[in-house]
Amino acid sequence: MSVDLATVKRVARLARIAVSEDEAKRMVGELNGIIDFVEQLSEVDVTGIEPMTSVTPMEMRKRQDAVTDGDKADDIVANAPETDRNFFLVPKVVE
């Protein structure tokens, strides 16, 4: 896969980035270099290699998925200017 001048201009237009002709020509080479590097990475054999979450092996800390507090709806809405059945009431902004 390679990038041409028309693709660079189209992407710049879609991203709403002002790119001059000289900048676009320079970006063609830079983007093609990046794409070539990514294609080299796809050639690496990674069979049998586990995905990593960190460069140093570590066990992820996990917590028990349990409700530790709750039943505080009255406390949460206590300072609200207006509430209805433990819901905040706000002014209507869309007609």
Cα(74)–Cα(76) distance, rounded to whole angstroms? 5
Q: What is the dihedral of CA 67, 73, 79, 82, to 10 degrees?
A: 140
CATH number belonging to domain 5-42: 1.10.20
Q: Could you tell me the pLDDT band of residue 24, with boundaries at 50, 70 and 90?
A: very high
Q: Hey, where are the domains in the chain? A: 5-42
Q: Could you tell me the pLDDT band of residue 58, with boundaries at 50, 70 and 90?
A: confident
pTM for this model (two decimals): 0.49
Q: Is the pLDDT of residue 30 over 80?
A: yes
Q: Where are the alpha helices (DSSP H) in the chain?
A: 5-14, 21-42, 73-76
User: How many helices and strands, by DSSP H and E, does the chain display?
Assistant: 3, 2
